[in-house]
């Protein structure tokens, strides 16, 4: 909690305490009884010895003594008050009486003689009133100023705190070279102007989410010795028409005052979408904001020394006027990293991680095709969290395997109960994928297979390409479909019945088959693109597809898709029927160990049995662990989950 929040939380309690004190003080004052005496009454009580105590306060201005005291028959809250002339004779009489009757006698200084007290009593209340009025006035003016700042730019100036440089950006070699030119130009513009070169006014970074677009822009800010303004596209758009345009104008005015400088607009698709589209027509506020942005970037005015960097993962919805030369002259695609890029990214994120000797980042990069930089960072972070949870001193491959599964499929549902028959069906289903992965030349490699439920799946086989390629051949796609159908074929072949477990496999297989026929020209219909993904902006990417065929051709597309699927299904059935022993071997191993890695599968295929090793509880199934726990007399073993069982067995 910061100091401002602490003050805000204390103020109500202080106010309540003051109110209670005031009430208590007022209650005591109201309950006090004060008897006002005349001079004669006072002297009579003094001479008769009825006085118990007296307090005398001189008042020089009034030439009087103010006397407060108590009589013997007074109650605790009762007192008397009297004013007498200010004279030495009067004071002498009181002092003589106090010596005779021995009552308490005290004197106080005149309070009016203290200048400090006089100021406190007379000046401080006025200052409090004036200060309170000034505070209220400034607050009202502050609110008015905020309303006047409604159209001001929300762009923030980057600071040196948490500075990111190009050393922190891995796997984007070509992309870094593109933006390095901007920094070189800002540092030495004459080198470019000498040959008549004009630096791009804008650079658009686009690509899938998590590939490092914003990180690259932050690195430009870290490397450049010029002001760097950053803002989100959604910060321009407001409810009221004209506010966004005003903010754009103000942003460029600030940038001109600090030129040369850089402006970074993140998620520019929020403001730069194509104009005049959508079911309800345009959007006046957003379109006016975009018009102002177009004018500022390349209109009649000059913006020398201002370079704009923007990022989006949806370049297809941007307005064409925004993408033309003179505005965003250069468009840089930030793709998913290849194997070398993934290894470099892992090295960056592993700097502050403690990895065991068995962890090789090169092997981990091979096992994570399709992972973005954000996915890889999350993978290592999840592995670190698991290592801490397991009280380990370093991150091992066990934590990385589990973290990979968590990122792809979610946490393992070890507490889910399902019958032995279901376990057997799932084991043969996943074993079918593994056998086809082993026997097909162009199919994906099986990195890991498990029958532990994760997410919506009862089990899954992690398949990765044997090598990363730019293009896929027809044989590659056919064998991929065949591998996807292996689970259903295995169920039908062994149990002579089918289940719903292959739903996701069919979804992927059908999508590949349709793309082969309608987009890739890999069927008897010939090399034609009959269908393409081209949804109108704001209607959703798949709301509509451009179809360049008649109803008769649509029927032929269905026949071609069915032929591809049927041929792959028949091929899968033939391979699995010829390798029933291997299918049973892998399924039995899955039933016992629940999870098999690539190395274990290769050893199993080569030797016909699992490798002899010391008891490794983490690789054993929950059923096997409970059998061992029963033998070792562990209490409530049947109620413990796998992690707790392993902990109890290790303690034994």
| Active site amino acids | 430
Sorted by sequence, the CB contacts under 8 Å of residue 626 that are 6+ apart come out as 637, 638, 645
Sorted by sequence, the CB contacts under 8 Å of residue 332 that are 6+ apart come out as 175, 178, 179, 203, 204, 205, 206
Q: Which of 543, 483, 549, 490 is nearest to 521 (CA)?
A: 549
Strand order across the beta sheet in which 51-59 lies: 33-36, 78-85, 64-71, 51-59, 104-107
CA angle, corner 247, sides to 243 and 248, nearest 5? 120
Query: Using CA atoms, how far apart are residues 497 and 591, in angstroms rounded to an integer?
Result: 20
Q: Which of 310, 446, 397 is nearest to 618 (CA)?
A: 397
Q: Which of 408, 461, 391, 401 is nearest to 433 (CA)?
A: 461
**Upper half-sphere CA count for residue 92 (Cβ side, 13 Å):** 3
Q: 190: buried, middle or exposed (CB in 10 Å: 19+, 13-18, 0-12)?
A: exposed
The Cβ of residue 112 has, within 10 Å, a number of other Cβ atoms equal to 14
For every residue of 420-478, which 3-state class applies, written as one string? Answer: HHHHHHHHHHHHHHHHHHHHCCCCCEEEEEECCCECCECCEEEEECCCCCCCCCHHHHH
CA angle, corner 222, sides to 303 and 231, nearest 5? 55
CA 585, 588, 592, 598 torsion: positive or negative? positive
CA angle, corner 241, sides to 236 and 245, nearest 5? 45
Query: Using CA atoms, how far apart are residues 504 and 644, in angstroms rounded to an integer?
Result: 32
Query: Using CA atoms, how far apart are residues 491 and 429, in angstroms rounded to an integer?
Result: 6
Please state whether the peptide bond connecting residue 448 to the residue before it is cis, i.e. omega within 30 degrees of 0: no
Q: 364: buried, middle or exposed (CB in 10 Å: 19+, 13-18, 0-12)?
A: buried
Question: Secondary structure of the chain: what % helix, strand, coil (to 5)?
Answer: 55, 15, 30
What is the number of residues in the chain?
652
Q: Tell me the CA end-to-end span of the chain in Å, nearest whole number.
A: 45
Instruction: Classify residue 496 as left (phi > 0), alpha (psi -120 to 50) or beta.
Output: left
Query: Using CA atoms, how far apart are residues 335 and 315, in angstroms rounded to an integer?
Result: 13
Sorted by sequence, the CB contacts under 8 Å of residue 106 that are 6+ apart come out as 53, 54, 55, 56
How far, rounded to the nearest angstrom, does the alpha carbon of residue 19 sit from its chain's CA centroid? 44
In three-state secondary structure terms, 140 is helix
Q: Which of 568, 621, 591 is nearest to 425 (CA)?
A: 591
Q: Which of 11, 15, 94 is nearest to 55 (CA)?
A: 94
How far, rounded to the nearest angstrom, does the alpha carbon of residue 33 sit from its chain's CA centroid? 67
For strands 78-85 and 545-547, give the pairing.
unpaired
């Amino acid at each position: 909690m910061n100091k401002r929040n602490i003050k805000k939380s204390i103020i109500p309690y202080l106010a309540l305490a003051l109110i209670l004190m005031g009430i208590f003080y007022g209650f005591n004052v109201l309950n006090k009884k004060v008897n006002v005496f005349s001079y004669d009454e006072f002297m009579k009580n003094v001479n008769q010895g009825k006085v118990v105590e007296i307090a005398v306060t001189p008042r020089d201005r009034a030439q009087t003594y103010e006397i407060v005291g108590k009589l013997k028959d007074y109650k605790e809250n009762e007192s008397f008050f009297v004013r007498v002339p200010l004279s030495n004779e009067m004071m002498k009489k009181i002092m003589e009486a106090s010596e005779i009757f021995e009552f308490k006698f005290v004197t106080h200084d005149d309070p009016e003689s203290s200048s400090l007290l006089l100021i406190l009593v007379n000046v401080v209340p006025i200052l409090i009133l004036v200060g309170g009025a000034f505070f209220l006035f400034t607050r009202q003016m502050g609110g008015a100023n905020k309303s006047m700042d409604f159209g001001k730019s929300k762009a923030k100036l980057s600071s040196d705190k948490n500075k990111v440089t190009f050393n922190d950006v891995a796997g984007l070699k070509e992309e870094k070279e593109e933006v390095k030119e901007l920094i070189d130009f800002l540092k030495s513009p004459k080198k470019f102007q000498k040959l008549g070169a004009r630096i791009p006014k804008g650079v658009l970074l686009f690509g899938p989410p998590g590939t490092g677009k914003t990180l690259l822009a932050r690195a430009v800010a870290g490397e450049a010795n010029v002001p760097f303004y950053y803002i989100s596209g959604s910060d321009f758009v407001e409810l009221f028409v004209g506010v966004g345009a005003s903010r754009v104008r103000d942003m460029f005015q600030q940038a001109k005052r600090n030129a040369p400088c850089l402006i970074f607009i993140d998620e520019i698709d929020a403001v730069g979408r194509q104009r005049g589209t959508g079911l309800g027509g345009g959007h006046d506020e957003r379109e006016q904001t975009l018009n102002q942005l177009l004018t500022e970037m390349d209109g009649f005015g000059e913006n020398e020394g201002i370079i704009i960097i923007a990022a989006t993962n949806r370049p297809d919805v941007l307005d064409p006027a925004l993408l033309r030369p003179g505005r965003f002259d250069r468009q840089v695609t930030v793709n998913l990293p290849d194997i070398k890029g993934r290894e470099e990214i892992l090295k960056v994120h592993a700097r502050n991680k403690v990895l065991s000797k068995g962890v090789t980042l090169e092997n981990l990069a091979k096992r994570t095709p399709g992972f973005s930089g954000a996915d890889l960072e999350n993978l290592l972070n999840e592995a670190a969290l698991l290592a801490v949870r397991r009280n380990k001193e370093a991150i091992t491959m066990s934590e990385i395997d589990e973290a990979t599964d968590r990122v792809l499929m979610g946490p393992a549902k070890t507490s889910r109960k399902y019958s032995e028959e279901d376990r057997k069906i799932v084991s043969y289903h996943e074993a079918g994928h593994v056998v086809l992965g082993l026997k097909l030349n162009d199919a994906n490699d099986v990195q890991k297979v498990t029958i532990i439920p994760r997410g919506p799946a009862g089990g899954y086989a992690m398949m990765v390409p044997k090598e990363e390629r730019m293009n896929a051949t027809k044989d590659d796609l056919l064998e991929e479909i065949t591998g996807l159908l292996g689970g259903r074929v295995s169920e039908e072949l062994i149990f002579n019945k089918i289940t719903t477990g292959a739903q996701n496999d069919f979804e992927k297989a059908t999508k590949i088959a349709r793309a082969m026929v309608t987009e890739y020209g890999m069927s008897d219909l010939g090399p034609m693109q009959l269908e393409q993904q081209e949804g109108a902006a704001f209607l959703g990417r798949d709301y509509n597809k451009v179809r360049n065929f008649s109803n008769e051709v649509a029927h032929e597309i269905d026949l071609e898709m069915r032929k591809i699927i049927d041929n792959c299904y028949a091929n899968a059935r033939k391979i699995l029927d010829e390798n029933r022993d291997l299918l049973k071997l892998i399924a039995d191993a899955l039933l016992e160990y629940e999870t098999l890695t690539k190395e274990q599968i290769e050893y199993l295929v080569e030797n016909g049995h699992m490798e002899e090793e010391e008891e490794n509880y983490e690789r054993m199934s929950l059923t096997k662990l409970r059998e061992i726990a029963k033998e070792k007399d562990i209490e409530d073993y049947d109620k413990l989950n796998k992690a707790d069982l392993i902990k109890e067995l290790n303690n034994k």
